[in-house]
Amino acid sequence: MIAKAEAESLVENYLASFFPPSKHGPLVVWREHTEDHPHCWVCYWVYKIYLDIMGRQYRAGGNYPIIVDKVDGSLYGTGFRPIEEYVARFDTDKAQLKRLVRN
């Protein structure tokens, strides 16, 4: 079973490998907003500087939440639809979602 801290670490490792640091610094999981669902974690992410100073100019655009499978730690992408729809898809047939990383 993947614990919350491990799920957040998996997402941050993915972000670091997929998105090189920009002039705004690294991307990190917004830990206060991580959601616990029966079969998965939902992690939201932002630029670290945004969390440090909460400056609107540092908000990332298009940073859809990432779903982490509690069983094996695989990461799945989401999109612009309400997160509840992605979690429901994950619960019924996660093959419908784009797998970002397989553990």
Q: In the chain, what are the domain boundaries?
A: 4-101
Higher pLDDT, 33 or 51: 33
Tokens of 24: 């705004």
What does the pLDDT read at residue 58?
67
Tokens of 85: 């729809």
In percent, the amount of the chain with pLDDT more than 70 equals: 92
Residues 6+ apart with CB under 8 A from 20: none
What does the pLDDT read at residue 61?
66
In percent, the amount of the chain with pLDDT more than 90 equals: 70
Number of CB atoms found within 10 A of residue 62's CB: 6
Is the model's pTM score more than 0.85? yes
Tell me which residue has tokens 């429901």: 88
Q: Which of 8-17, 57-66, 80-89 has the lowest mean pLDDT?
A: 57-66
